Amino acid sequence: MNFKIEEIENRREFLKKSTRTLALGGFVLLGGFLGMRRSDGENSASSCALNLPCRDCASLSRCQEPRALPSKQNEDFAQGFENEKR
């Protein structure tokens, strides 16, 4: 009976170890894949680019509405970041 429990424990440990190695490999791949990616310019740097009302508005740059301010700032920030990188 004890032998059986040991066997189960060994099997569990082996599965855990394998899954752990897989997970670690997955993180390395994910980190490498995302870290090596270069931006195409649109959304880079502005990590909170979403959820802004005028994100896709064509007249954003000349818009005077106060609610457009955060979007404009994000765009300016992204452009500034791109210029800095260059």
Residue 63 exposed, middle or buried by CB count within 10 Å (0-12, 13-18, 19+): middle
How many residues sit in the footprint of other proteins (CB under 8 A)? 45
Question: SS3 sequence, 28-67?
Answer: HHHHHHHHHCCCCCCCCCCCCCCCCCCCCCCCHHHCCCHH
57 is an interface residue for other proteins by CB under 8 A: yes
25 is an interface residue for other proteins by CB under 8 A: no
What is the smallest separation between the CB atom of 45 and other proteins, expressed in angstroms? 7
Q: Which residues bind other proteins (CB under 8 A)?
A: 5, 16, 19-20, 23-24, 27, 30-31, 34-35, 37-45, 47-59, 63-70, 72-73, 76-77
